[in-house]
Chains A and B, each alone.
Chain A
């Protein structure tokens, strides 16, 4: 297994456009997380899936954001009508849960909204 992968690695888009990011977790991991990281800060939690169910969303996740995890495998994060404030690194992590709940991160997708 090669770890968590994310696609694309970089995305430049114009304000108002929609973007979609993909995350492929470690294959046996049933938990999947999305985080957002802005310059000089640590990652902040956005949303969490256990298998295909989206169990929690942060208040950071406005109505323009939607995430899915069909069949409990890969996940997508879509941002509609992007704004300059959406520019950030979007990180995906997966976890097998018990006993240590450690999370393994992908390389991230860097979004720049112009």
Chain B
């Protein structure tokens, strides 16, 4: 997914907020998603946002979308050790098959 980019690694202390960033190039995407992947496991859908929204909050998760800059972020409040995982940003194809294009993932390490 060369048109979806993420930083590779983020380390935070338990209880702090984590902010994971993502940029994309295709402005036609209507749907943008965040997934979590733990070692050896499949992907867990965390949340999604439509391109006509600027922000979406879901419990400890806040998604911010800056359409002008094609920038998406995921903020995790009160980060816990169980949040340690790889987080993937994905954009949905706007028509047809609706396949997802993923970034390379951001590894979040939460230190006690």
- Chain A stretch 62-114: residues in CB contact (< 8 A) with chain B: 91, 93, 95, 97, 100-108, 110
Cβ contact within 8 Å between A101 and B42: no
A41 on interface, CB distance cutoff 8 Å: yes
Flag B85-112 by CB within 8 Å of A: 1 or 0 each.
0001010100011111111110000000
Least CB distance, A30 to chain B, in whole angstroms = 12
The CA of A15 and the CA of B48, in the complex, are separated in Å by 40
Q: Which of B41, B90, B98, B102 has the most CB of A within 10 A?
A: B98
Interface size band for B: 20 to 34
- Give the contact-size bracket for chain A: 20 to 34
Please, what's the 1-or-0 string for A16-44, where 1 marks a CB less than 8 Å from any CB in chain B? 00000000000000010101000011111
Residue of B nearest to A95 (CB): B98
Cβ contact of A56, chosen from B42, B44, B50, B96, cutoff 8 A: B96
Q: Could you tell me if B100 and A103 are in contact, using CB atoms closer than 8 angstroms?
A: yes
Contact partner of B97 (CB less than 8 A), chosen from A41, A56, A102, A108, is A56
In the bound complex, residues from chain B placing their C-beta under 8 Å from that of A41 are 104-105
Interface core residue of B42, B43, B48, B104 (most chain A CB under 10 Å) = B42
Task: Please tell me if the beta carbons of A48 and B45 are within 8 angstroms of each other in the complex.
Answer: no
> Contact at B42–A107, with CB atoms within 8 Å?
yes
State which of B90, B98, B101 has its C-beta within 8 Å of the C-beta of A31.
Answer: B98
Which 8 residue pairs of A and B lie closest in terms of their CB atoms, listed nearest first?
A: A42-B102, A105-B43, A45-B99, A105-B42, A107-B42, A48-B97, A101-B98, A108-B42
Chain B residues within CB distance 8 Å of chain A: 1, 4, 31, 33, 35, 40-45, 48, 50, 88, 90, 92, 96-105
Name 21 A/B residue pairs within 8 A (Cβ), A-sorted. A4-B42, A35-B100, A42-B4, A42-B88, A42-B90, A45-B99, A45-B100, A48-B97, A55-B97, A56-B97, A56-B99, A93-B100, A100-B48, A100-B50, A101-B31, A103-B100, A104-B45, A105-B42, A105-B43, A105-B44, A107-B42
A binding-site residues for B, Cβ under 8 Å: 4, 6, 31, 33, 35, 40-45, 48, 55-56, 91, 93, 95, 97, 100-108, 110
